[in-house]
Structure 1
Amino acid sequence: MEKMNKGKAAEPSAPPRERLLEAAGELFYNDGIRATGVEAIAARANTTKMALYRHFQSKDALLAEWLRQVIAGYWRKFDAIEAEHAGDPRAQILAWAAFFADDAGAWSHRGCPFINSIAELPDREHVGRKLIEEYKQGQWRRLAGLCRAACLASPEGTASELMLVFEGAQVAAQNRSIADAGALAQRIASAIVERQAQASIG
């Protein structure tokens, strides 16, 4: 996944909307949602606050669009994984595990953008929080579908176990509580898949 790193102001040659989204993503991720004001976003994007409001009704609308972009990036990655292992759902599940292992280790000290955003959005009705929760529910459904296609025992339960491992690996990698959390999560996920595969034929 694309990482949000601190950098220079956005290139003025890009369209204003793209510059605003890029700048907002960097600042929301690196500095936090609450700490980032529209003035700072406009300055990073080499534009004005007035221009920001022409493209986005509010800071929340800009945040929501950034989250949609991050979510879309994950869906594209899952599509690519499944295309690479077409017709082999078990291999697809293990490739998901490898991806999350790499993803957990690749984030900066700021960690997962979804975890960070949820922490700053206590209102369950906030559009940003809803987007994240809907994405995670969709991710679980897609993973459960792969478990079902792989003929694993209790596909819904297996998907829940795997999701818990993936989510836990991201938190552990962020707070550095476990060395090589991603690699450990991959081994645990492989063991879960193997156990459920054996249970389905037992």
Structure 2
Amino acid sequence: MKPLLPPRQPASERVSRTARRLFYRRGIRAVGVEEIVAEAGVTKPSLYRSFSSKDALVANCLQTRFDRIMSWWDDLELRTPGDPLARLRTLISEVARETRSPTHRGCALTNAAVEFPEPGHPARTIAESYKGAMRARLIALVEQLPVPEPVLLADGIILLFEGARASRHTSGAQGPAASMETVANALLDAFLAASPA
């Protein structure tokens, strides 16, 4: 008896998964619909049955990344219950590890915002919403620590994350990005040390 083959994913999921990979690797504007359908093994009509346009596909891909990152935040909270300092140090460590990955090309949502500067474009709208949500979650986390000016600390950490991701484009994994974890923890330690007794 032949072994059962795993069920084939729906065309919409194959298109979305393929597009996310290609957009991240090469940039959204550089990848055409023809390349996506060829790599996904679907036809153009099947793509357009699921996504009304390339912009709709881009929005789907970015929203999927947004949702996955929010799920990762939820998981981080479950892994560090009642310990905001451990949660923040884990966050710094995991962002640093991601940034050092050989396949890292920066933040997909920041990259999209750079490619689509037009206000109101769906890609830019999702990227801005994502960045706002990330900042709000980080501020809420830092506010649980005994530090002065928690918003300032949260913004400093965000700037380190963003800078490390951006520097990968020009300096690689051994450039400034390699120092991000050490610098972020030093910043955190300085704020903790400045806490009133």
TM-score, L = length of structure 2: 0.89
Tell me what 2:141 maps to: 146
Tell me what 1:86 maps to: 81
Tell me what 2:182 maps to: 187
Q: Distance in 2 between matches of 1:41 and 1:121?
A: 20
Residue 64 of structure 1: CA displacement?
Answer: 0.7
Tell me what 1:170 maps to: 165
**1:12–1:39 CA distance, 2 compared to 1 (3 A):** farther
Q: Note the residue ranges of structure 1 that are not aligned, 5 or more in a row.
A: 1-10
Residue 30 of structure 1: CA displacement?
Answer: 2.1
1:105 partnered with 2:100: yes
- Deviation track 1:52-104 (CA, whole Å, cap 9, x = no partner) reads 11101110110011011112222222222221111011111111110110011
Contact 1:64–1:127, Cα closer than 8 Å, also in 2: yes
State the identity %. 34
Q: SS at the partner of 1:200? A: coil
Tell me what 1:197 maps to: 192
Tell me what 2:13 maps to: 18
More moved, 31-40 vs 152-161:
31-40
Residue 183 of structure 1: CA displacement?
Answer: 4.3
CA RMSD across the alignment: 2.0
Q: SS at the partner of 1:197? A: helix
- Letter of the structure 1 residue corresponding to residue 130 of structure 2: Y
1:133 partnered with 2:125: no
Equivalent residue pairs, number: 192
Tell me what 2:40 maps to: 45
Q: SS at the partner of 2:195? A: helix
Q: Note the residue ranges of structure 2 that are not aligned, 5 or more in a row.
A: 1-5
Contact 2:59–2:126, Cα closer than 8 Å, also in 1: yes
**1:95–1:65 CA distance, 2 compared to 1 (3 A):** same
TM-score, L = length of structure 1: 0.87
Q: Distance in 2 between matches of 1:137 and 1:95?
A: 21
Q: Distance in 2 between matches of 1:161 and 1:113?
A: 21
Q: SS at the partner of 1:201? A: coil
- Letter of the structure 1 residue corresponding to residue 154 of structure 2: A
